[in-house]
């Protein structure tokens, strides 16, 4: 898909991968509709992206009224929605067997149900135009379950399955879907988790993390070539393949990183 002059909604756009996507897509001539809870963060992201005309709709993406406002304001300003990037998400570093249920529900609400709800709102407009793309930012944890964040992995597996199902459902309408599976990215993700802390060995692995701009570039290139799946960095595919071919070995290594046997 050509990005120039396309209208792009980006959730979680105030920092990290979302802000980097705003800069990357603005550089390619896209029209931006940005949302996040922090209005100040959105302004900074738009300024950094060189997109002073970006539409900013601050608010909580888990709130249905906010989602409807986002879609309505985008259509009022630009007249169409070409690309939806469901990027907003959160993690939790607490074992699944003792996560409070309200925390588990909040995580699923943001990581899965909010992207689903936004997709349901924008797809009718895309179907009318017989064009569009849904980009869901998942995680490598949606390909290989990480035991220090099991429920996060669950939410990203669900998002990946949704992406694949939508691709088949919307094939006749010429609407594409793409799942993005970042590995370790240098963002404030660990500082924003709902509860818990990453194991020490996981924190030390941060030195291998990529910059948000690298991830955003991979996402942009994926959109341009109508990719099904984007893994960033591509070397993370090695973990995915290893987990399929040598599951017991990979599970043992991941359990060791988590501090368990």
- The residues carrying an active-site annotation are 152
- DSSP β-bridge partners for residue 84: 9, 134
Beta bridge partners of residue 134, listed in sequence order:
84, 177
For 147, the token pair is 């035991």
Q: What whole-number distance in Å separates Cα of residue 131 and Cα of residue 151?
A: 34
Contact indicator for 223, 133 with CB cutoff of 8 Å: yes
Rg for the chain, CA atoms, rounded: 18
Q: How many Å apart are CA 195 and CA 148, to the nearest integer?
A: 12
Q: What is the DSSP string of 117-140?
A: HHHHHHHHHHHHHT-EEEEEE--G
Helices 247-257 and 237-245: crossing angle in degrees, nearest 10, is 120
Neighbouring C-beta atoms of residue 129, cutoff 10 Å: 13
């Amino acid at each position: 898909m050509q990005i120039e002059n396309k209208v792009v909604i980006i959730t979680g756009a105030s920092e990290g991968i979302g802000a980097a996507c705003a800069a990357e897509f603005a550089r390619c001539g896209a029209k931006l509709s940005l949302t996040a809870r922090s209005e100040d963060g959105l302004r900074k992201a738009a300024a950094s992206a060189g997109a002073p005309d970006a539409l900013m709709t601050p608010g909580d993406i888990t709130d249905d009224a906010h989602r409807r406002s986002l879609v309505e304001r985008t259509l009022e300003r630009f007249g169409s929605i070409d690309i939806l990037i469901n990027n907003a998400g959160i993690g939790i570093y607490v074992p699944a067997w003792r996560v409070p249920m309200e925390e588990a529900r909040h995580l699923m609400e943001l990581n899965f149900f909010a992207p689903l709800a936004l997709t349901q709102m924008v797809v009718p407009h895309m179907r009318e135009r017989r064009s569009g793309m849904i980009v869901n930012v998942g995680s490598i944890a949606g390909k290989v379950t990480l035991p220090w964040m099991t429920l996060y992995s669950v939410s990203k597996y669900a998002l990946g399955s949704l992406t694949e199902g939508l691709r088949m459902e919307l094939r006749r309408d010429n609407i594409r879907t793409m799942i993005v599976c970042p590995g370790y990215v240098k963002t404030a993700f660990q500082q924003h988790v709902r509860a818990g802390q990453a194991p020490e060995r996981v924190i030390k692995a941060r030195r291998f993390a990529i910059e948000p701009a690298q991830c955003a570039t991979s996402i942009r290139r994926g959109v341009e070539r109508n990719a099904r799946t984007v893994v960033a960095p591509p070397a993370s595919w090695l973990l995915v393949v290893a987990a399929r071919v040598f599951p017991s070995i990979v599970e043992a290594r991941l359990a060791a990183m988590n501090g368990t046997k």
